[in-house]
């Protein structure tokens, strides 16, 4: 399960590495090391000093912020190709832990910064990735602030489907590796409301629920709910 070279990396196409040529790729590989985390393990924690950046190689992570009284908001899920860490901010802004087994490329912060400094291509790619991330965050604000439970669930399913197909993981069944509680904390709902809403969507023939995920039976209906045309 260890990746011996960047050349045949499955995340190569969508990660920041896409901005690099063969030589640079080898150079960057020198700085990096592969790390693996088992299900539930914490990769880094909010407010800790960030000493590394990461690029997700395989698996899913939940990224979340906690309030002092332990309310939790999952600000996003990270998938292969996603970059974790923000240049210019000394601390981690959120915690990250593994949903199922995860592998990552780890880059020491300073050496990565030095490497990136003189490579406008890479910097542009990073601006671009940050921009996409920001756009997703803003879309999620609409969801959290202005949508009903049913729209939230439908939106989440459609968005998750699109992200997976964007990294070549589309398929008939939509895998949901995270737990109901994770979905609830991502959508600003409780676990009971998530469960009830899944059940309602199944009763209405929009989805079919399996242990490992769901199948979208009535995609147009789900997309309409997701778009907010209820």
- Which residue from 45, 113, 181, 227 is in contact with DNA, where contact means CB under 7 A? 181
Considering the complex, what minimum distance in angstroms separates the CB of residue 211 from its own copies? Answer: 27
Told to check if 228 binds DNA by CB under 7 A, we report no
State which of positions 113-152 bind DNA (CB under 7 A).
Answer: 148-150
DSSP class per residue in 75-93? EEEE-TT-EE--TT-SB-S
- Which residue from 13, 40, 131, 170 is in contact with its own copies, where contact means CB under 8 A? 131
Considering the complex, what minimum distance in angstroms separates the CB of residue 47 from DNA? Answer: 25
State which of positions 48-77 bind its own copies (CB under 8 A).
Answer: 65, 67-69, 71-73, 75
With tokens 């802004």, the residue in question is 93
35 binds, among DNA, its own copies, none (CB under 5 to 8 A by kind): none
The CA-based angle 198-157-192, given to 5 degrees, is: 30
CA atoms within 13 A on the CB side of 98: 18
1 binds, among its own copies, DNA, none (CB under 5 to 8 A by kind): none
- Which residue from 27, 110, 139, 192 is in contact with DNA, where contact means CB under 7 A? 192
Answer yes or no: are the C-beta atoms of 47 and 91 closer than 8 Å.
yes
For its own copies, how many residues bind (rule: CB under 8 A)? 46
Considering the complex, what minimum distance in angstroms separates the CB of residue 97 from its own copies? Answer: 16
Answer yes or no: are the C-beta atoms of 15 and 81 closer than 8 Å.
yes
Answer yes or no: are the C-beta atoms of 153 and 221 closer than 8 Å.
no
**CA 119, CA 115: separation in Å to the nearest integer?**
7
Residue 199 in tokens:
């059940």
* Site track 166-185 with its own copies (rule: CB under 8 A), x = hit: -------------------x
The helix-helix angle for 109-117 and 22-31 (nearest 10°) equals: 160
Residues that bind its own copies (CB under 8 A): 65, 67-69, 71-73, 75, 86-89, 93-94, 117-120, 123-124, 126-128, 130-135, 137-142, 144-147, 185, 187-188, 227-230
């Amino acid at each position: 399960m260890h990746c011996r070279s960047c050349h045949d990396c499955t995340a190569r196409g969508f990660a920041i590495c896409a901005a690099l040529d063969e030589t640079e790729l080898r150079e960057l590989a020198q700085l990096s090391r592969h790390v693996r985390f088992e299900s539930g393990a914490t990769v880094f924690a909010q407010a800790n000093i960030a000493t590394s950046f990461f690029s997700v190689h395989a698996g899913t992570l939940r990224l979340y912020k906690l309030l002092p009284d332990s309310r939790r908001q999952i600000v996003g899920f990270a998938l292969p190709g996603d970059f974790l860490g923000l240049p210019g901010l000394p601390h981690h802004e959120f915690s990250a832990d593994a949903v199922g087994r995860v592998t990552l490329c780890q880059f020491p912060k300073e050496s990565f910064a030095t490497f990136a400094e003189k490579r406008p291509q890479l910097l542009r790619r990073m601006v671009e990735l940050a921009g996409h991330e920001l756009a997703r965050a803003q879309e999620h604000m609409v969801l959290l602030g202005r949508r009903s439970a049913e729209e939230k669930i439908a939106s989440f399913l459609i968005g998750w489907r699109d992200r997976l197909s964007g990294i070549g993981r589309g398929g008939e069944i939509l895998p949901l590796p995270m737990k109901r509680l994770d979905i609830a904390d991502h959508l600003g709902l409780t676990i009971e409301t998530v469960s009830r809403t899944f059940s309602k969507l199944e009763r209405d023939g929009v989805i079919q629920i399996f242990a490992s995920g769901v199948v979208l039976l009535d995609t147009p209906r789900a997309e309409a709910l997701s778009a907010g045309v209820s």
